[in-house]
Structures are given as C-alpha cells and as structure tokens.
Amino acid sequence: MNRPPYERTEATSRLFDHAKSLAAEIGFDLVSAPRVGGGSDGNFTAALDIPTLDGLGIDGDGAHTLQEYGLISSIAPRQKLMTRLLETLR
C-alpha cells in the first residue's frame, strides 16, 4: 500500500459529528465505519493532521467490481450534505 494509515483524530471526530447532524437535518443517517479496507487520497490529508472525512459519496455497493452500482435516490441528499458542509465549515 502506498498510503499512510488513516488515523481518526479528535478533530476528525468533531467534523464527522457535524456532518452527521447536517445529514440528520437533510433526512438521512450518516454512519461511521470503524475500519474498512482500502485507501484513498484522504489518507494523505489525515496523515498531515487535517480533519478528513472519507466515503461521503452516494450509496451503492460492489465498489471497483463489475457489479458496482450507485443508488440514484442518494444523489440529491449527498449533494445537499456537501453543500451544507461547505456553507458551514470555517
């Protein structure tokens, strides 16, 4: 693996709690996954001690396989979450 480990910090936990409260206002439950496989560019920002959330994209399953799919019904709520995060972060 060519990425550093993704370590959850206190600041990242606060950022997740903020995103979770915004998701609840929008009408869906944002859940935390304690550990998952793989890696993303978020591993690099987290290693720099920058609060980092990963996996905020649309709902679906089968990532990176021939059976991968995304749920169209989750596009608008996730778009609203990204908008609200950008509006409320400083």
The two structure tokens encoding residue 60: 């679906």
Closest among 5, 78, 12 to 38, alpha carbons compared: 5
Closest among 69, 43, 45, 44 to 57, alpha carbons compared: 69
Output the pLDDT for position 35. Answer: 66
Tens of pLDDT, residue by residue over 8-17, are 899 999 999 9
Tens of pLDDT, residue by residue over 16-48, are 999 999 999 999 999 987 766 667 888 999 999
Tens of pLDDT, residue by residue over 47-78, are 999 999 988 999 999 988 999 999 999 999 99
Question: Strand 69-70 vs strand 60-61: parallel, antiparallel, or unpaired?
Answer: antiparallel
Contact between 25 and 36 (Cβ < 8 Å)? no
